[in-house]
Chain A
Amino acid sequence: MAGVSDTEDRSYDMGMHTEQLSGRTQQIFFSPEDEENFVYPWAPEVDYNKRTELDVADMTPNEINKSLKGLMNEGYGSIVIRNPGAKHSIAVGILNRLNLIIDGSLGYFGCGLIDGPNVRISGRVGWSFGENMMAGTVLIEKNAGSTFGAAIRGGDLVCKGSVGSRTGIDMKGGTIIVGGDTGAFSGFMMQRGRMIVCGNAGKNLGDSMYDGTIYIGGQIADLGVDAVPAELSGLDKAWLSRKLSLYGLLPEKGVDHFTKIVAGKQLWNYDNLEPSEKKIIL
């Protein structure tokens, strides 16, 4: 696909616009020439081969996050957190690449506002996990609470278990993947991005969504206002298969049974025209 300017062409060439939007939503383009859009000048340079562990059993969330920051400033690129004890607001605001392994569960607002790290969590996570995530990948082995991935803008946010209600509320980009079920009002006021739920979805799915795409592998309790079914194309199937395979969630029977939900475009669109996909690499 060609853009209308050199900048757009280069952006497409880099594979930064795989999501096709339509209707009142307009794509604007991330400029690869603007280096400051890719990195934060103050973010530390880390080495993935430099590894350490942090036992946080007796630390407060503030102490844990400061310790993480200190380790990253020392160049540690692989950090294992032990005994997180479901504490809240852990690993928030990480703006650089990092291989972060959390051995246990997190409370609410874990990994909020992150832009780049790759995170693996062996337990479950609480409310508003990954809120406003901008880039990177997060893989959660167990369940997640409500408002999972609220307002995320990029990256892959993956929960292998089931999640609560209002998953992906106000999401503006990126991909949310749920291995199990999701609760009511998932995709509420969704503006961009994609959500995949391998299991069932609660009532009012996609209520008042402006754009973006939701794929459901199980039953849908009911659709919200202006959320409508769409044809599952070959491109959709290929993308779903690739994404789910990446995280070991591809069903044995494939993806043909998924239902695709998009916006009916009958509602007012409040999209403030941010870049649809910010960055795919650091």
Chain B
Amino acid sequence: MCGIAGLIHRGKRSDVGTEMTSMLQALKHRGPDSTGFAIYGAPRENSLVMRFKVAEQEDITSGGFKIHQQIKDRKAEVDRRLTELGVMLSEEAEPTEYAYRYRFSYDGDLENLAKYVEDVEGAEILSLGSALELVKDLGDAAVVSSTYGLAGFNGTHGIGHTRMATESDVDIRSAHPYWAFPYNDISLVHNGQITNYWIMRRQMERKGSRFMSNCDSELLAVYTADNLSQGATLEESLRQSIDEIDGVFTYLVATRDELGVAKDTMAAKPLVLYESDDLIALASEEVAIRAIMPHEIDTYDPYEAEVRVWQA
């Protein structure tokens, strides 16, 4: 059934890494297969963070003796291509054998960069932006957060997802959040089923969009990216999706300084919302909100076809 959660602090920063971990751990029963975080720190001018992987976790156990060397070779090829493009690398972290975090400066075309990197076998950019840090992996929130060192991450907002795989594989590729390729700092999590997935995917692919998985949720990220590329605001894109996306869904979208939500016309997927002057928190179940606010609070369920956008 999957669980989604998000929060946004208004006018201040907080340890959103720990907060999102607590919220998603409380939703573990809704999806134990994988967990993902998209959290937003202070944007840095002239500096980008790229999270990417060159293999799946499963490849390590099933890939035989050669997989370790293959991973090294793939990473080396990514490095070579970045150097070739003129990327100035300033930070490099390797939380796992197969997933990496690079900070660099680059003033070229990001879409070309992304496509060139993803042309390397096994390579997938999980996120690219000046404020966004996107991590996702197999396991519950506590495991993924610990592996990627998210505790203490100082930021303004974040979204996350606990996944129960229903129609696609249990792997990082199919885990949420999705980065809205190739747009900086845009991420998305979704709970539901998109019933016109293949129709819309074929339309988007004909327009040149890239899909990395067969997960219907990825369509929403690509769809959002396409709308934004045509000049739509986040709120306009969310409202448009109510009419154009068929199925039952609740999804959250985060940008560098915004958090948005859209629900389908039947309100068939759950969402509980807490809203105060300085904090918005929303999740599939209230138990996730209680994980960061144990005191008594007022919450409510947004209604059908409801769209909301908040600023950090």
Identify the A interface with B (CB < 8 A): 85-88, 104-105, 107-108, 122-124, 126-127, 142-146, 161-166, 183-185, 202-203
Contact = CB atoms under 8 A, between A and B. Distances in A.
Interface string B282-312: 0001110110001010111101100000000
A143 B301 contact: yes
B272 interface: yes
A126 B300 CA distance: 9
Contacts of A143: 298-301
Nearest to B303: A183
A146 B294 contact: no
Nearest to B270: A127
A85 B300 contact: no
B287 A85 contact: yes
Which among B266, B286, B298, B304 has the highest number of chain A CB atoms within 10 Å?
Answer: B286
21 contacts: A85-B287, A85-B290, A86-B287, A86-B289, A87-B287, A88-B287, A105-B296, A107-B286, A108-B285, A126-B270, A126-B286, A142-B299, A143-B300, A144-B301, A146-B301, A161-B300, A164-B267, A183-B267, A183-B303, A184-B303, A185-B266
Contacts of B290: 85-86, 105
B294 A85 contact: yes
B103 to A, nearest CB: 38
A86 B299 CA distance: 11
Nearest to B291: A85
Chain B interface: which size bin? 20 to 34
Main secondary structure of the interface of B (DSSP, over half): loop
Interface in B153-210: none
Contact of A183 (B285, B287, B294, B304): B304
B267 A184 contact: yes
A205 B192 CA distance: 24
A123 B296 contact: yes
Nearest to A182: B303
Given A145-B270, A164-B267, A184-B303, 9 more contacts: A86-B290, A87-B287, A142-B299, A146-B270, A161-B300, A163-B301, A164-B301, A183-B267, A183-B301
